[in-house]
Amino acid sequence: MSTKYAGLKVVAVHAHPDDEAIWTGGLLADLARHGAHVTVVTCTLGEQGEVIGDTFAGLDSHHADQLGGFRIGELSASLAALNARGRFLGYAGKYRDSGMAGDPAGEHPRAFIRHREEAEADLAAVMADIDPQLVVTYEADGGYGHPDHKQAHAITAAVIAAENTHTTPRRLVCCVTDHDSLARGLDAITTIPPGWRRAADGELACHHLDRRPAGEVVAVHLDAAARHAKQAAMKAHATQLWIADGSLTPTNPRAACATIGDFSAASGVFALSNLIAQPLLNVEHYSCHPAGLAYPAGATHPADGLVGGLSGKEGQCRG
């Protein structure tokens, strides 16, 4: 492990177990591998998740309603793969998964979306305890509109805005899905497993990053180690993610295999419970708040475009 980012403290705020791997696994793994102290704050237990496979299907919210507790184990394995520490917002189970917009779960007394001020106070306590220089979460739209993702962004932005009026500013970056990178990745999938399907045009949420102001988005290109760690973290969430690499898990003891034709665009294929084949991209994108963050000349590590300014080097953030 290198010490390039030794002393850098990073907090990633995510709504549910598995988000840390899907959205930010490459960045977090790379930062940790180079010496950063990485902490993932998970806001709910993901109780409303749909379960892949029959083994643990009865744990979902429509049956035993025990999925949240089970997913703690999956999250722990994911964080180990990323070499990251984990904390729950408040305490494990304090806030419940609100479900998608319109889901009755959003009316539950512990639903995350019902506790804005209390959640902000809990996150402020985490920030005061860890004192991170870099904070990672979703964009304001939550990536694909999930109410808990939007809430996670809202409380994170609010806490940082309040703190930055009287403390050393923290850098906020938000994970986004680049339309062009996603399109290349989808095109790179040559075969998919039986029973899976390909995404319809516009079915997968993404952002047209070329329409954003110049210099606002950083592309984090994942090297082999970061890709491996991210895939291992995703595979840990076996009730939620199915990796089409031919492997078996106790959760879903049925192999799925897919093939990639262009490994410069994607390194593998996965699906959520909807069984839509998605590419494991070789790049993650992050919008910087505010724009114009420092970018070190001669950057050599994937995350330099996001953290270079924290080491005092000058330059411009570039995608």
How many CA within 13 A on the CB side of residue 4?
A: 16
Letter for the amino acid at 260?
A: I
Identify the pLDDT of residue 311: 43
Cβ(280)–Cβ(230) below 8 Å: yes
Q: What is the pLDDT of residue 288?
A: 85
Query: Is residue 296 pLDDT above 90, yes or no?
Result: no
Give the span between the Cα atoms of 296 and 305, in whole angstroms. 7
Give pLDDT, residue 119: 98
| Of the candidates 288, 158, 124, the residue with the CA atom closest to the CA atom of residue 219 | 288
Report the predicted TM-score, pTM, of the whole model to 2 decimal places. 0.92
164-214 pLDDT per residue, tens: 665 667 889 999 999 999 999 999 999 999 999 999 999 999 988 876 655
Name the CATH superfamily housing domain 9-311.
LmbE-like (3.40.50.10320)
Return d(Cα 187, Cα 219) in angstroms, integer.
20
Confidence of residue 309 (pLDDT cuts 50, 70, 90): low
Pairing of strands 85-88, 37-42: parallel
pLDDT of 269: 98
Banded pLDDT at 305 (limits 50, 70, 90): confident
* pLDDT range class, residue 297, cuts 50, 70, 90: very low
- Each residue's pLDDT tens digit, 209-267: 876 655 478 999 999 999 999 999 999 999 999 999 999 988 988 999 999 999 999 99
The pLDDT-based confidence of 318 (bands split at 50, 70, 90) is very low
64-68, 305-309, 312-316: range with lowest mean pLDDT: 312-316
pLDDT of 293 > 70? The answer is no
User: C-alpha angle with apex 134: 132 to 140, nearest 5 degrees?
Assistant: 120
Question: Mean pLDDT in the chain?
Answer: 90
* pLDDT tens digits, 35-45: 999 999 999 99
Residue 6 phi/psi, 5-degree rounding, is -60, 135
Q: What is the pLDDT of residue 139?
A: 93
Asked whether the predicted pLDDT for residue 316 surpasses 60, the reply is: no
CA distance 116 to 139: 17
